[in-house]
Structure 1
Amino acid sequence: MNAELVLQELEALGKERLKKMYGTNGAQEPFYGVATGEMKPIAKKIKLNQPLAEELYATGNYDAMYFAGIIADPKAMTAADFERWIDAAYFYMISDYVVAVTLAETDIAQEVADRWIVSGEELRMSAGWSCYCWLLGSRPDGEFAADKLAAMLEQVQRTIHDVPERTKFAMSNFIYTVAVSYVPLHEQAVETAKAIGQVEVNRDKPKSNFLNAASNIQKAIDKGRIGFKRKYVRC
């Protein structure tokens, strides 16, 4: 199957309701509004196909870029490839849910994510913190250095109120993910969340919102989810 045929199949699956929602979140034309679950049958036919993934990602079509993440072969991608992908990620649904997710299935994930976190660029930073969320939520605790993650929690506590908007979301999710999925630092993550309190986002909109990691962590505790690990990162 080539890129043109994939685009035709994706277009046929588009839903106006989803297209409107994606557009509200930042997707730019051209895109179709395809539910991610609807992509699975096409992905099963193709399996992993890095050349096709590259071709689809390069279209700039959000649905095609998302699908590219599903069929990409992370092991075949280099750090330079991920830099190219994050350069083309023009809004958070691509940076955090396509690029960061794909990166999380590689051996270079932490190395690349660490660079992005200190880049000073909103979506790179967001993708870097998000990648750690995907990693912590799926890999054994033993793959991570506790002192490194502890320092990252301290960094979040110092800076979260001053970083760009999307980075705030990713940082807040990082605190939550450490508390829920990385048991050795559960207590520190809980204390970090309490120290930070509510984090204001969307200040440029008529009504701003607030993130509250402490509240979300408590809900996870109440549901007995501490220690949760997902089986798969990509859908």
Structure 2
Amino acid sequence: MPKSIDPTLVTLVNAAVPHVAFDGWGVETFKAAIADADIDAGYARTLCPRGGTDLAIAFHQMGDAAMVDALAAADLDGMRFRDKVAEAVRLRLAVVDDKEVVRRGTTMFAMPHLAPVGAKLIWGTADAIWTALGDTSGDVNWYTKRATLSAVYGSVVLFWLGDDSEGGTATHDFIDRRIDNVMQFERTKSAVRNSPPLKPLTGLLDRLTAGIKAPRTTPRDDLPGMWRNPK
């Protein structure tokens, strides 16, 4: 789930957003946010040691938190699970008021030295969605679910940034197609796992992955990973 964000940092991010379209998530935006929010520069630096980069990270995390709130308020009764996931992705996009702010962030996190940070943020979004939808998996499936949804969400954002269809209908259709792809993959995986000729191979795979457990630390603020030797 998205971790709570310092209220002063929220104020700083909100002050930065109007400048991002012109100056990106860089030094000038960071300085302007400090001035507009009337926050002590030294204190702002303790909140954002990397300046604009940390503002961009907080902006993304605030979006995840807003999505979780919107999802909690949404009427999901009667929906298939795949439709709940698709709705969560749509709500995550809907909390963004200005695509250009996301575009600037996407460009920044595509830089080689920040790519791991961008991947971590996308993973965090996938984790927030699965957790909000009640995922209780505690084994390797915890990772595969989030890895698959991370790939879906990353491709959706790129499509959405270039979508100029009325009401974003093209993006909605794209989300449905990508979720259908994931469901098809899950059905294929299940069929392979239950295929008698492949039982020896899948059984070996099960034994190899038996020691992989979901992280227990909450909130998670790093790419997860834990190996436990099976007993």
Tell me the TM-score normalized by structure 1: 0.30
Larger radius of gyration: 2
Greater length-normalized contact order (CA 8 Å, ≥ 6 residues apart): 2
Tell me the TM-score normalized by structure 2: 0.30
More helix by share: 2
